[in-house]
Structure formats: structure tokens, C-alpha cells
Structure 1
Amino acid sequence: MSVIIGTSNHDGTGSSENLTADNGALISGYFNDDGITVYPYETFSGISFDSVQIQSDTWNNKNYKEAKVDGNYEAITIDNIIDLDIHNQSDLGFSHIELLNTKRGNIDTSGVDSDDSIFIGVYSNSSGWSNKFTIDTGEGNDSVTLANVQGSQYTRFDINLGTGDDQLDISTLSSSYKSYQERIAEGGDGFDVLITNGSNNVTFSGFEMVKGTGFNSTLSITKDILDNNSDNDVGLIITNIDVDFSSALNYTTQAVDAEHSTYLEQHGFDVDTFDLVTVDDGEYTLLIQHDDLLS
């Protein structure tokens, strides 16, 4: 296991992904220097529970802008480091990764079957440099949240949730700064839930449910959304967000039938609050709450 901190972009050798012991500081044990503290892993109650915490006093610390973590940690907490590269494989089958006030990063927990919880508090000061997060969680029932702290309109991401019943929450991110901005999410195999405040925040595929926050937000259904989330024959569940359809699509509503009633009940929903919506002569099926469907 290793932790390296530094500022390789100052000397042109790269970013957090390219940090090495030669262009950064390889940490072994407790470290405190120039406004940054690193707490190493510990063992509790005879169980090898490994954790690391990296704390900078200021955002964009001129001497420590980057961190690279490679190990088998169950808990990783990093605050005020703008550029992160994390490869983690928990020995105990679960991990919690909390990244606060960061601008960009690579997070990969796909090397082992584990239930991972990843929280990223997004902080950006401009569209300059990279604002991209690349996340791959692999197997396991994973939860990923990208939350706005400041400047999340500049944030880009490419997220693959892999195999398992996963959840991605991007509901507090600001709308994209540019219409072509890369924001991609792949649910993968399993029952996957996207929590969002509108379709302009993400291009998504492989999800079984889209959930809003109950505030004034709209999911605009296009043929691309239907094609990208139609692997489940029972239909995409949409709840707690206003829904409208592209003018190119024709849809009809009807009462929920027995098959879809069973499906909704399996996932804890009140069947009486849903409509069964078929699009383009039954090519696609959606389950949408009554109050969410805009005329």
C-alpha cells in the first residue's frame, strides 16, 4: 500500500496519475508538513481495518495539489486536494471513500468484488485545467455521489458502476457549463438507480430507475434515453421528477398490469401511484408516477 503526495504538474511530469516517489513525497507513517497532514492506516480489534486520511489546510495548496493512493483500504478520506488518483481493493469486501473539495480525479475500486461508497464534494474554480472524474466500481453493490460545493458546472465525468445493484446521485450538480460537456454514466448489470435533477446533467445507460429530488426539475425523454436504458424488459421506473417527451415520440398511458404491479411492489413502490406508459407502439415501456407525467 502506498500514499504519494506532490505537485508534479509544476515540473511538467504530469498529474496525480503520474506521481511517483521520484517526483512526489512517498509517505510512510504519520506526516505533517506545510499545511498538510497524512494519517496512516490502523488496525482495530484484531481485524485488519485499514484507513488513510489526507488533510490540507487550504484548497489548492501550492506545494501539495495532488495525491495518489494505492492499497487495500476500508476507509479513505481526503480534503482540499484538487487532483486525485485512487486505486483501492478492500480486503473486507467494502470501502468508504470520501473526497472533499476536489476538482478532478480517477477512482478505481474494480479490482475486487466489494460494496463501495464513494462521496465526492466537487470544488472547481474555473473551466481551466481538467475538471473530469473517472470512476470504475466493478462488482458489488456500490453507491456514488457527486455533490456540488462550488463550480460544479465545469465538472465532467465518466462513471461505470459495473455489476451489482448500484446507485449514482448527481442531483446537486449544476447544469453543464457547455452543452457538449462529457457527463457519462453506465449502470451495468443489476438494478441501478440514477438520482438526478434533469437529463441535461448526464448521458446515462443501463439504469433501471431514475429518481428526482421532488423539486422543480424535468427529465426530457428522448429516443436515445429509451434505447440506452431498455435492456430490462419490464421497463424503466421514473419517480419524483417531472417527465416530458420529445416531440418525435408517441406515447400512451394505461393502468399498471399484473406483471408490472409485481415488479413495482418488489422494489417498494405503491402501484396505485403509477401509470404504465408505452412509447412508439409498445417498443418501449416506462413506469411513471401519475403526478410526474407532463401533458
Structure 2
Amino acid sequence: MPTDRQPLYGRVAVVTGAARGLGAAMAEVLVERGAQVALLGREERTLARVRDSLPAGTCACWEADVTDDQGMRRVGAEIRARLGPPSVVIANAGVAEGGPFAESDPTVWRRVVEVNLVGSAITARTFLPDLVDACGYFLQVASLASIGAAPMMSAYCASKAGVESFAHALRAEVAHRRVGVGIAYINWTDTDMVRDADEYAVLRELRGHMPPPARKVLPVAYVAERLVTAGERRRASVYVPRWLRSTQLVRAAMPPVVTWLSRRELPRLTAAETFSATGLLGAGGRADQATNQDGPPG
């Protein structure tokens, strides 16, 4: 193989949550670096637009619910038959909701945990045999919320803390089989989910009370490039922006600081505007909610 070829050249990569936002942006970078990409998401039409925006023959798309074990097994088999066995898998699918926990819809709260945590585990289970055969790489997209929880985002924070622990456990289990497992800690990224969150006054204000570097919204293309590069280098972790790594050193101190700030600011914010549950945020969240109106996958 010529030495100027990049590490991902000719490999098959799977990206969940690929219909828009970060997933679609990572698919574009993966294709630029020579990979064939399987796009997975809830909306066939939106996935097809992503596929058609990329060079012909570089990717294919499958409508899939990452929380559906049987459906994911079927999709996995179809990917192997059409593209070949994957050697890179990026568990990016995720949803979020905001609002006071006591007023949250139990079904919506549970769905956030199911998609973000259970869906990541099902994604790993579906493709782990391929990654073992290829000595491949699994990248779990986590969040600053994995390190420091915030009020009004209990389901999202719980699920992202869960995927961090899941990825650590999986890494330890498969290290001797030469499978790499990475965790992507990302901060606010310019996706429809974050833009939708900013439409709600309390969520917008809470972000505004974060230190200036922590409240900055990053371009999705920049985040995508950093994550794909981490995959090329089989990193155990990637922090976007880079300063997020320092939060690991002070994570034990973060809960009392967040509690102190919330005790001071939440009464003022909620007095100015009543805040209720948002439902699933962003176009992706609304698509997931609409698709599930007939009940859970069978």
C-alpha cells in the first residue's frame, strides 16, 4: 500500500446519528480520508440527502433505531454484505431534553437514556465481532456532561456519564484483543440540538453563566475533524476543545460548585420565566419522537 495513503483509506466506517449535525460532518471527513461510510439514523430521507451530498459510491445509508437489537443486527448484516466488515464504529447517536426533573415526561426522560446509553451499547454489541477481527476502533461520543452534571439536563447528564463508564469498561474488556476504544469529550457544538436549547431562556442563561471558554459554541466541522483524527490515531480520549482535559483534574470539585451556583441563580431565572420540560430537542429529537409515536421497536 502506498505510504501516502491515510490510515482510514479503504476501511469501512459506521456512524450512527448521521442524518445531520456532527454525524453528517464526521461522515464527510471520513470520506475525504478515504473511508467508505455506513450512515445510520432515524430518517431515511435526510440520510439520503447526506449520502447524495458526498461523492458517489463512498457511502450508503440505513434507517435504524440504535435501541432496537434486532433491527441493528439486521442492519449490521446488510452493511457487511454491501460494504464489507467495519473496522471503525462511531457511536454518535444522541438526543436530549431539558427541564425540571420533577416535571419531566417519564417516557421522554427514559428515551434519552435509551438512545444515548443503551443505544451505544447495542451499537457496540452489533459491530464488536467485526472490530475484533479487524483489530478495529470504537469511538464513543460523550460530553462535558460526562464529567460535570448540570441542572435541568438530568437525563442527558446521566446518560453521558453512563456512556463514559461503559466505554471505560469495554476498553478494559477488549484491550487484549487489540480493539481500541476511545471516548470523545465534546463541549457545545453548533448543531440543531444546541441551537434549539438556546431557544429556552433558562437553558440559555445557564450556559451563559459558564466561564467564557466553556460557553463557546464550536463549529461542527472543527469538532468532526478532531474526532475523525482521534479515530485515525486510535486515541483513548479526545477533548474538544483541548482545555476540557483539565476538567478531569477538578471533576470532584465540580458538583458542589454547580450546586452553589444553581442555588443562587435558579430562583432568579425561574422567577423571570416559568420553565417547563422541553421535550426532545432539535430536529433529530423531534424525528425520533415522531418515529416512536406508535410504540417502541419490536
TM-score if structure 1 supplies the norm length? 0.29
More helix by share: 2
More strand by share: 1
Larger radius of gyration: 1
Bigger RCO (CA 8 Å, 6+ sep): 2
TM-score if structure 2 supplies the norm length? 0.29
